[in-house]
């Protein structure tokens, strides 16, 4: 993977950084125009060294908010950790302004500790850990009001200073969109052997419009797209088990989009309100809701589709 930036931005290492028309109005224009930014960012090498013991590094992306990206991140990580106790799995939450993984994984009251080897992640299970800015806030209600450079600095710290140890999987939960946080993550992971991205969507066209932009973002910055997961594809009543469509796929849904854009389709996850309740309460839905259709679909994606995408479980 290369650290190519979107075509509208010349890149910080370019001689034209901060000087072309595309830079007008950018809050980082003066910084990019300075000579210091022409040098390779030392953070890239630090991230490479820190993540050298992490086998699979997977970005979880979606151009649209509200598609259940954080829930799916937790679902995949818990599923893998539950399927094989020998696999070490971690979640890195880089949604700086809206961190949700501490609550979703049931560890919102924990604190991060620092040692000589860096920040220690918070352990959910013996083989599942998480790091998030949510652990660093005084209150869950505190707003993070930061400009791009400070958010980017935080992401660099998370990627280079967390002592994960030996990991089989690191899932990186990102905010929706294709902006600062995503460019920072891509840049810092450019030499760290990023496995690729899993993109989350829902079936309706209003979500697919933004997800197409996310796919285009991956094409432009050379991120390997491991596949697309269609979340909330249908609602299965937990009592009568009758299935109904809440978000009608008027244009063929994620599967049709994947065919058109030539990217892998990993599968669909039905909506189970019991999982949402478990996320609110921080409970382990993998063990509490073994009969959930969403969990069965998640197992299928992890065991069968991940193998097809060369992400061996």
Tens of pLDDT, residue by residue over 102-146, are 999 999 999 898 888 899 999 999 999 999 999 999 888 999 998
d(CA 175, CA 179): 9
Question: How does DSSP classify residue 191?
Answer: T
Beta strands in the chain (DSSP E): 54-61, 89-93, 113-115, 118-120, 122-125, 128-132, 167-173, 196-201, 225-236, 243-244, 265-271
Confidence of residue 157 (pLDDT cuts 50, 70, 90): very high
pTM of the model: 0.86
Closest CA to 300 of 233, 208, 214: 233
Tens of pLDDT, residue by residue over 224-245, are 999 999 999 988 777 777 778 8
Tokens of 185: 């993550």
Q: What is the mean pLDDT of the chain?
A: 88
| Residue 181: half-sphere exposure toward Cβ, Cα within 13 Å | 25
Q: Which residue has the higher pLDDT, 268 or 27?
A: 268
For residues 192-201, give the mean pLDDT.
96
C-alpha angle with apex 67: 171 to 9, nearest 5 degrees?
70
Domains of the chain: 1-39 (no CATH), 41-308 (3.40.50.300)
DSSP H or E stretch at residue 71 = helix 69-83
Residue 285 pLDDT more than 50? yes
For residues 67-93, give the mean pLDDT.
95
Q: Are 275 and 75 in contact (CB under 8 A)?
A: yes
Of 123-127, 167-171, 243-247, 309-313, which gets the smallest average pLDDT? 309-313
């Amino acid at each position: 993977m290369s650290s190519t930036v979107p075509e509208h931005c010349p890149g910080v290492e370019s001689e034209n950084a901060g000087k072309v028309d595309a830079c007008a109005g950018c809050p980082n224009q003066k910084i990019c125009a300075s000579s210091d930014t022409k040098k390779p960012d030392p953070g890239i090498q630090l991230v490479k060294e820190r993540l050298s013991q992490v086998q699979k590094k997977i970005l979880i992306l979606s151009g649209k908010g509200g598609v259940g990206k954080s829930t799916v991140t937790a679902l995949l990580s818990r599923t893998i950790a539950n399927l094989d106790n020998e696999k070490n799995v971690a979640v890195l939450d880089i949604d700086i302004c809206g961190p949700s993984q501490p609550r979703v994984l049931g560890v919102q009251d924990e604190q991060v500790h620092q040692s000589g080897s860096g920040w220690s992640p918070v352990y959910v299970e013996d083989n599942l850990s998480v790091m998030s800015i949510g652990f660093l806030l005084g209150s869950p209600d505190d707003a993070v009001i930061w400009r791009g450079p400070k958010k980017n600095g935080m992401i660099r710290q998370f990627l280079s200073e967390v002592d994960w140890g030996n990991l089989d999987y690191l899932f990186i939960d990102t905010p929706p969109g294709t902006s600062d946080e995503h460019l920072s993550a891509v840049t810092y992971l450019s030499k760290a052997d990023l496995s690729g991205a899993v993109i989350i969507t829902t079936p309706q066209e209003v979500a697919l419009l933004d997800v197409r932009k996310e796919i285009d973002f991956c094409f432009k910055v050379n991120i390997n797209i491991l596949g697309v997961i269609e979340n909330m594809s249908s609602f299965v009543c937990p009592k009568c088990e009758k299935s109904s469509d809440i978000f009608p796929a008027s244009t063929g849904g994620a599967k049709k989009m994947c065919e058109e854009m030539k990217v892998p389709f990993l599968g669909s996850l039905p909506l189970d309100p019991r999982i949402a309740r478990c996320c609110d309460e921080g409970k382990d839905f993998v063990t509490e809701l073994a009969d959930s259709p969403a969990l069965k679909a998640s197992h299928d994606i992890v065991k069968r589709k991940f193998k097809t995408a060369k992400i061996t479980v």
